[in-house]
Structure 1
Amino acid sequence: MLQVGDQLPEFEGINQDGKIIRSSKLIGKKLVVFFYPQANTPTCTVEACNLSDNYSQLKKAGFQLLGVSADTVKKQKNFHNKFAFPYDLIADENRDLVEKFGVWQQKTTFGKTYMGIVRTTFIFDENGICMRVIEKVTSKTAAEQILEA
């Protein structure tokens, strides 16, 4: 998993509208990249809505936001439109970003072991250097956790 002090990995991702998002275009502002397991699931929705509800505070603090899951563009679009998120969602279907950030890991739920995205938030400075990794994301207070940085 990416650590504090690591450089933002180079990537190209497809957002909910089918547009390419390049990491090189994200340098210059503080960046929050939050990974969530699946669009439109209860806990992921609470997290994404908390970030949306607190977007003006996050923006005022200088942050730009980018959500990432391994969902399809269509699923991301539906999720994005349903809640009118003010930030982009990346459809990482081939798991390029989740692998680069190291959040594709073995998980266990109800005794079942499987591979999946571990809910994690990365905060980068204006130069693309990782300032903080939040591994224990609390969905209801995700924005608060970011602003603590």
Structure 2
Amino acid sequence: MLQAGTKAPDFTLLDKDGQTVRLSDFAGKKVVLYFYPRDNTPGCTRQACAFARNYEGFKRKDVAVIGISKDSVASHLKFAQKYELPFVLLSDPELQAIQAYDVWQEKKMCGKVSMGVVRTTYLIDADGVIEKVMPKVKPDTNADEILAYLEANG
């Protein structure tokens, strides 16, 4: 896991519309960067919908919200349309950002060990430095916790 105080690694990925997005495009504003395992799975859907419900709060604070998974651009487009997700979803099939942010890790499920994305959220400050790291977040409370942190810490 990357630590608070570390310069956030830049990346270049495609969004749900096939447009190129770089982390550096958001210089000068805070960014909630959340990594999740897969579109349209129960936990990931609850997490995305929680960010959507809280989106106006993030906008009022001038904070960008970006979700990243290894799903395809087409998968992200369907996911965003189905749940009316108003924030940026980025496709990372080559694991560029996923590995740079150290969220591709060994996972155990039902006694089976495999590699996958560990649900993790980073808050990046306006200077591109990681302000807060939230590993193994809970999908239902992640967005609320980040918004509460932003309210308390400006």
TM-score normalised by length of structure 1 = 0.97
Displacement, 1:143?
1.4
Q: Percent identity?
A: 38
- Aligned ranges 1:113-124 → 2 under 5 Å: 113-124=113-124
Unaligned runs of 5+ in 1: none
Displacement, 1:60?
1.4
1:69 corresponds to: 69
SS at the partner of 1:64? strand
| CA shift digits 1:112-131 (9 cap, x unpaired) | 00000000000011101101
SS at the partner of 1:139? coil
TM-score normalised by length of structure 2 = 0.94
1:111 corresponds to: 111
Determine the C-alpha separation between the residues in 2 that align with 1:102 and 1:136.
12
SS at the partner of 1:148? helix
Displacement, 1:138?
1.7
1:85 corresponds to: 85
Determine the C-alpha separation between the residues in 2 that align with 1:53 and 1:91.
22
Displacement, 1:103?
0.2
**Contact 2:31/2:125 (CA < 8 Å) preserved in 1?**
yes
Displacement, 1:75?
0.7
1:142 corresponds to: 142
Displacement, 1:59?
1.6
Determine the C-alpha separation between the residues in 1 that align with 2:23 and 2:53.
25
**Contact 1:31/1:123 (CA < 8 Å) preserved in 2?**
yes
**Contact 1:58/1:143 (CA < 8 Å) preserved in 2?**
no
- Please identify runs of 4+ aligned residues in structure 1 that moved more than 4 A: none
Determine the C-alpha separation between the residues in 1 that align with 2:27 and 2:60.
17
Determine the C-alpha separation between the residues in 2 that align with 1:128 and 1:141.
25
**Contact 2:118/2:136 (CA < 8 Å) preserved in 1?**
no
Displacement, 1:144?
1.4
1:52 corresponds to: 52
Determine the C-alpha separation between the residues in 1 that align with 2:61 and 2:111.
41
